[in-house]
């Protein structure tokens, strides 16, 4: 199994914070698990979480910007 060399700061640079990155990766992994045809043949043998992280770090995923100030506001 390949070992990936991505760290938490790498995720923060891409998504703004590690929590947003986790949400993005979890959603993509769920999509891959439900519909494996969404990825190429080479990635089908890998776990969906690994494929999601790989796609995320290669800028293959489109995701909305998270406005942390709006998320953290108490109602």
Residue 17 forms part of a structural domain: yes
Residue 2 forms part of a structural domain: no
Give yes or no for a contact between 27 and 54, defined as CB atoms under 8 angstroms apart. no
pTM, 2 dp: 0.74
9 SS3 class: helix
* Distance (Å, whole) CA 50 – CA 37: 16
pLDDT in tens, 8-65: 888 888 888 888 888 889 999 999 999 888 788 888 888 999 999 998 988 888 776 6
Residue 43 forms part of a structural domain: yes
Residue 3 forms part of a structural domain: no
**Secondary structure (H, E, C), 36-71:** HHHCCHHHHCCCHHHHHHHHHHCCCCCCCCCCHHHH
Residue 65 forms part of a structural domain: yes
Counting the structural domains of the chain, the total is 1
Residue 42 forms part of a structural domain: yes
Domain boundaries, position 63: 8-71
Residue 57 forms part of a structural domain: yes
Residue 16 forms part of a structural domain: yes
């Amino acid at each position: 199994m390949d070992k990936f060399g991505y760290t938490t700061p790498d995720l923060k640079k891409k998504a703004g914070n590690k929590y947003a990155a986790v949400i993005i990766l979890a959603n993509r992994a769920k999509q891959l698990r439900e519909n494996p045809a969404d990825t190429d043949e080479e990635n089908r043998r890998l776990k969906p979480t690994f494929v999601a992280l790989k796609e995320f770090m290669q800028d293959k995923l489109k995701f909305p910007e998270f406005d942390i100030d709006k998320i953290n506001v108490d109602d």
